[in-house]
Amino acid sequence: MENGIPRNILELPFLMNFQNSLTVGTAVLIEGIVPENASMFLVNFGAPIECCFCSSSEKEIAFNLSLHFDKRCVSRNSTKKTKWRTEQVTGNMLFPLTRGCRFLIEIFVAGKELLIAINGIHYCSFVLQTALRLINSLEINGDCQLNSVSIKIDENKYPYPWIIENENLAECININCDSTPTESNLRVPLMCILSRTLQPADVIKVEGKIKLLPYSFTIDLQNNELCWPHPDILLHVNARYNYSQKNKKNAFVLNNWSNSKWGSEKTVYNRSLPMPGTIFQILIVCGLSLDHDFITLRMYIVTQLRPYFTAEKHVIKEFNAVSTPQDKLL
């Protein structure tokens, strides 16, 4: 089921009242072109304000998405009694839009959070502080040429497929597990489709260079290439760089996602975390457990300056997709 705004309506600010409450599986698709002189444009989800001292004309912003071309960042936020909460600016890839190019923004309702995809690639998520039933309007304004807005109901996949020639698109490649290694200057986020499920004695080798100011990078071994419905992540490797004054410890975190929840997190504080600006190598070696019900994944980390360190995680055997987003250059 789809409701759409005709492509010839380009007037900004664009305002729409939702006919029905947003539900899980609803996708809002916004398509347009970024002008050559664009500075910023925004997308807001509005809701009634619950404040006895505020005017009836004011609205709560349940979700704000702002795309800043000068700062090259995508910020997300919301308000509480008209006051802004904490802004979020991290994403799964570099700034994804280009002046003078077409764009497609998808905002997908996945329960208590929104998933945001730009040009067909998942960029970030946003946890809602406002009940879905209260969100009743959409606003788009700023420096963009708006071509179409559509609402899709009961979508069973995310992100929405969209193919366009754009240098900012991430890559998806097929890997033959029984052939020579795939070697090239790969972009992240990167999705690798394996030709078969992993088996004992298989080795996954990831080589790259850490950016100078990294936030984190992740490697996920999962059972499909979708972001929603949430895939089973049979091994989640997350390198976290902490710059706070209270806790400067960097760490590797290992976990898995199944039955709609995370498992027991294992945190490894170790000096072998790849340092900013260094080249590194990660080896994930598959071995069979004694009861043959689990694969033991042993992770080795090699950098230019540090020796090996290992960490183990027991996961279910079958998986066929590898996802590697965020601050790693392959």
Instruction: List the chain domain ranges.
Output: 2-152, 171-329
**DSSP letter assigned to residue 170:** -
For residue 242, CA distances in Å to 94, 194, 254 come to 20, 33, 16
Q: Does the pLDDT value for residue 168 go beyond 80? A: no
Q: How confident is the model at residue 327 (pLDDT cuts 50, 70, 90)?
A: very low
Q: Tell me the mean pLDDT in the region 186-213.
A: 81
Query: Of 35 and 267, which is predicted with more confidence?
Result: 35
pLDDT digits (tens, 9 = 90+) for 253-300: 888 888 888 888 888 776 667 788 888 888 887 776 555 555 566 666
pLDDT cut 70: percent of the chain above it: 72
**DSSP letter assigned to residue 274:** P
Lowest model confidence (mean pLDDT) among 108-117, 187-196, 267-276, 320-329: 320-329
Separation between Cα atoms, residue 14 and residue 10, nearest integer Å: 8
pLDDT at position 297 is: 66
- For Cα atoms 133, 61, 215, give the angle at the middle one, nearest 5 degrees: 105
Q: Does the pLDDT value for residue 239 go beyond 80? A: yes
pLDDT digits (tens, 9 = 90+) for 126-163: 999 999 999 999 999 999 999 999 999 988 888 887 65
Q: How confident is the model at residue 247 (pLDDT cuts 50, 70, 90)?
A: low
pLDDT at position 171 is: 58
Token code pair at residue 66: 């702002």
Domains 2-152 and 171-329 share a fold: yes
Span 2-152: which CATH code? 2.60.120.200
pLDDT digits (tens, 9 = 90+) for 221-238: 888 877 888 888 888 888
Separation between Cα atoms, residue 7 and residue 69, nearest integer Å: 24
Is residue 112 within 8 Å of residue 126, measured between CB atoms?
no
Closest CA to 285 of 220, 193, 198: 198
Q: What is the mean pLDDT of the chain?
A: 79
Q: Tell me the mean pLDDT in the region 60-68.
A: 97
pLDDT digits (tens, 9 = 90+) for 311-323: 555 444 444 445 5
DSSP letters, 203-243, are EEEEEEEE-SS--EEEEEEESSS-SBSPPPEEEEEEEE---
Contacts of residue 246, defined as CB under 8 A and 6 or more positions apart, other chains included, come to: none
pLDDT digits (tens, 9 = 90+) for 81-103: 889 999 999 888 889 999 999 99
Span 171-329: which CATH code? 2.60.120.200
pLDDT at position 318 is: 43
